[in-house]
Amino acid sequence: MGHHKLQRFAENLTFPNLFQVGFEQLEQEGFALKGRWAEHFGNQNPITLELGCGKGDYTLALARIHPERNYIGVDIKGARLWRGAKTAVEEPLRNVAFIRTRIELIDRFFAPGEVSEVWITFCDPQLKKPNKRLTAPRFLDTYARFLAPQSTMHLKTDSQELYDYTLNEVLPERDVEVVASTNDLYNSSYDGEAKLTQTFYERMFLAEGKPITYIQWRNNQTKQQINK
């Protein structure tokens, strides 16, 4: 492993806004802030997650615009999270945190109803393994364990396949309301938060001339259904 990466991993351990808990520790002790994120942030403001946040571009940009909300970026790659966590410490953005974990384990970090919004930004479309897509039913079931009633979900992707799969195969089978969808965001009349900022990968895809797709939906589950 490069010296540069090791330095970043070492610095990650010093950031008060970056949480990394190994699988063993999660199994044995659980996550201390589960159900207690309000104590970490020092307020009861609603929480937004960015899944597969990479360097945390969306998390940081939205947190600057919405100081009345809290933002948590999630990724497995420590060297990428380092960028987001360092920026949030330096600015400082007190409404930002990061979790280093596999998204498969994300329900270990939040109590039922603790999260009200999720952004999925340019995740791997997993063309050969539908079950690994972050909008596959098993993942949406995992998120439902901690989402508040009427929570909002956003998917931004360059993958037409992932867009079609989510919009036409997954969402029609669920109790959700699609609020917005476009297979070419920047040539659409949509005028909302998805156009506010571009992530690192998004800028690369745009430079290649790829259209960006976007879906926003609202989960209609009642709390009772969520807790099943």
Ligand X SMILES: C[S@@+](CC[C@H](N)C(=O)[O-])C[C@H]1O[C@@H](n2cnc3c(N)ncnc32)[C@H](O)[C@@H]1O
Separation between Cα atoms, residue 12 and residue 14, nearest integer Å: 5
For the CB of residue 201, give the shortest distance to ligand X in the complex, in Å.
4
124 catalytic? Reply is yes
Residues whose CB is less than 8 angstroms from the CB of residue 35 and which lie 6 or more positions away in sequence, other chains included: 110, 111, 114
Of residues 141 through 200, those in contact with ligand X by CB under 6 A are 199-200
For the CB of residue 145, give the shortest distance to ligand X in the complex, in Å.
16
Q: Which of the 8 DSSP states describes residue 10?
A: H
**Nearer CB in complex with ligand X: 122/221:** 122
Ordered DSSP codes for 147-192: EEEEEEEEEEES-HHHHHIIIIIIGGGSSEEEEEEESSGGGSS--S
Number of chain residues interacting with ligand X (CB under 6 A): 19
| Opening angle at CA 82, ends 78 and 86, nearest 5 | 160
For the CB of residue 80, give the shortest distance to ligand X in the complex, in Å.
5
For the CB of residue 43, give the shortest distance to ligand X in the complex, in Å.
26
Of residues 93 through 132, those in contact with ligand X by CB under 6 A are 102-104, 121-124
Q: Is 5 in the site for ligand X (CB under 6 A)?
A: no
Q: What binding mask, one character per residue, do residues 202-221 give for ligand X by CB under 6 A, x or -?
A: x-------------------
Of residues 20 through 79, those in contact with ligand X by CB under 6 A are 52-54, 57, 75-77
**Nearer CB in complex with ligand X: 72/123:** 123
Separation between Cα atoms, residue 228 and residue 225, nearest integer Å: 5
Q: 216 in helix, strand or coil?
A: strand
Amino acid (one-letter) located at 70 = N
Report the catalytic residues. Answer: 124
Residues that bind ligand X (CB under 6 A): 52-54, 57, 75-77, 80, 102-104, 121-124, 199-202
